[in-house]
Chains A and B, each alone.
Chain A
Amino acid sequence: MSTTTETTHGDHGAAHEEHPNRDMTYVKVAIILAAITGLETFTYFESVFDFGAALVPVLLVCMTAKFYLIAAYFMHLRWDKPVLRRAFLTGIVIALSVYAVTLAAFKFFGEGMPR
């Protein structure tokens, strides 16, 4: 009986080791995400600061950073098995490739949509 109890406690310990408390990390990531969202919103107010030609690159960098932070930390890809990262990245890469080609076919880049 005592052996069973010890084993159970051992399992609990293993579970805690496998799931370390990352709550503070999550809160820090959320603060960074909120700050980036603030920056994104700030770009809207051109009268305060005009980003000019840098607007789109700045927004795309902000978007990519937020995407990475959520996927890596909140979705645990940073700590999970690589196969999950590959499954998700495969979907993203295929989607980006297919739709980049589609947009190019419709002449989205450059002269815009054909009439």
Chain B
Amino acid sequence: MAETLAAPATDAHHDDHGHGHTITGISNEKLAMWLFLGSECLLFGGLISTFLLYRKKLNSFPGFENAEISKLGAQLFDIPFTSVSSFVLLMSSLTMVLAVSSLQRRDEQRMRIWLLATALLGASFIAGQIYEFTAFVKEGLGFTTNIFSSAFFTLTGFHGAHVVIGIIILMTMFAMSLQGRLGPERAEALEIAGLYWHFVDVVWVVVFVVVYLIK
């Protein structure tokens, strides 16, 4: 009888990672993040599709009245600069996964270093995006210049906003860690934040090719 009563109590215990047993075998928080990321695919899919539809609508941009899409990359985008930005964001994914790995192995000091590195790399990416946007505006390509620029700024701006939110999450977790509120028992919380960060990176992988490289 005592064993019978003890069994459900064991099931209700929270395991080593801070989440209880669920019907799926994974925590509800993690499942919720994956479902959220699935829905984000629809958001960015819509923005990318809109850009693809309107990328040929350059007509009202000074100097591009008769522009062909094949010349767009050469004349407007600074591909080497954007490639470096892409590389920076890719490396931030590496530092993020190393931060999660460090916390899972109970190395909180190293986790903080990787977490800070991730936030700094993300901030570098945003700085590059601000520089790029500023250069476009100085050349006369603003948000409302034409339908192409609206689609471009909306897509890349939404992505940039996601990166900024990611940096805020990372810095919050860094502060929590300094206060001792992000120990190894909460490694899954950091992993979930990491999922968001990697998703932002994955979106840029698509944006970089579709917007900047495909002519």
Q: Please, which residue of chain A has its CB at the minimum distance from the CB of B42?
A: A95
B76 CB-CB contact with A under 8 Å = no
Contact: A95 with B41, CB < 8 Å? Answer: yes
* A side interface size, CB within 8 A: 55
Instruction: Report A41 CB to chain B, min CB distance, Å.
Output: 4
Contact: A75 with B199, CB < 8 Å? Answer: yes
**Chain B contacts for A81, CB-based, 8 A:** 24-26
Contact: A26 with B98, CB < 8 Å? Answer: yes
Main secondary structure of the interface of A (DSSP, over half): helix
Q: Mark A58-102, 1 if CB is under 8 A from B, else 0.
A: 011011001100110111100011011001101110111011001
Contact: A91 with B213, CB < 8 Å? Answer: no
- Interface residues in B65-119 by Cβ distance below 8 A to A read 73, 79-80, 83, 86-87, 90-91, 93-94, 96-98, 101, 104-106
Contact: A91 with B83, CB < 8 Å? Answer: no
Which of B3-11, B150-158, B202-210 is the interface stretch? B202-210
The answer to whether residues A90 and B38 also contact, given A37-B83, A113-B53 and a CB cut-off of 8 A, is yes
Q: Please, which residue of chain B has its CB at the minimum distance from the CB of A73?
A: B97
**Within the assembled complex, what's the spacing in Å between the Cα atoms of A78 and B73?**
36
**Chain A contacts for B210, CB-based, 8 A:** 63
Contact: B42 with A59, CB < 8 Å? Answer: no
Select one of A14, A41, A55, A71 contacting B83, CB under 8 A: A41
**Chain B contacts for A113, CB-based, 8 A:** 53-54, 56-57
Contact: A23 with B209, CB < 8 Å? Answer: no
Contact: B101 with A22, CB < 8 Å? Answer: yes
Contact: A27 with B205, CB < 8 Å? Answer: no
**Within the assembled complex, what's the spacing in Å between the Cα atoms of A99 and B54?**
14
**Within the assembled complex, what's the spacing in Å between the Cα atoms of A23 and B214?**
33
**Within the assembled complex, what's the spacing in Å between the Cα atoms of A92 and B30?**
18
Q: Please, which residue of chain B has its CB at the minimum distance from the CB of A40?
A: B213
The answer to whether residues A16 and B199 also contact, given A26-B98, A99-B46, A108-B53 and a CB cut-off of 8 A, is no
Contact: B34 with A74, CB < 8 Å? Answer: no
Q: Mark B174-215, 1 if CB is under 8 A from A, else 0.
A: 000000000010010001001100110110011011100111
Chain A contact residues, CB within 8 Å of chain B: 11-12, 14-16, 18-19, 21-23, 26-27, 29-30, 33-34, 37, 40-41, 43-44, 55-56, 59-60, 62-63, 66-67, 70-71, 73-76, 80-81, 83-84, 87-88, 90-92, 94-96, 98-99, 102-103, 106, 108, 112-113
Chain B contact residues, CB within 8 Å of chain A: 16, 24-26, 30-31, 34-35, 37-42, 44-46, 48-49, 52-54, 56-57, 73, 79-80, 83, 86-87, 90-91, 93-94, 96-98, 101, 104-106, 184, 187, 191, 194-195, 198-199, 201-202, 205-206, 208-210, 213-215
25 A-B pairs, CB-CB below 8 angstroms? A14-B16, A15-B16, A15-B104, A19-B101, A21-B105, A22-B101, A30-B93, A34-B87, A34-B90, A37-B83, A37-B87, A41-B80, A44-B80, A44-B83, A55-B214, A63-B205, A74-B93, A74-B97, A74-B194, A75-B194, A75-B195, A75-B198, A95-B45, A99-B45, A113-B53
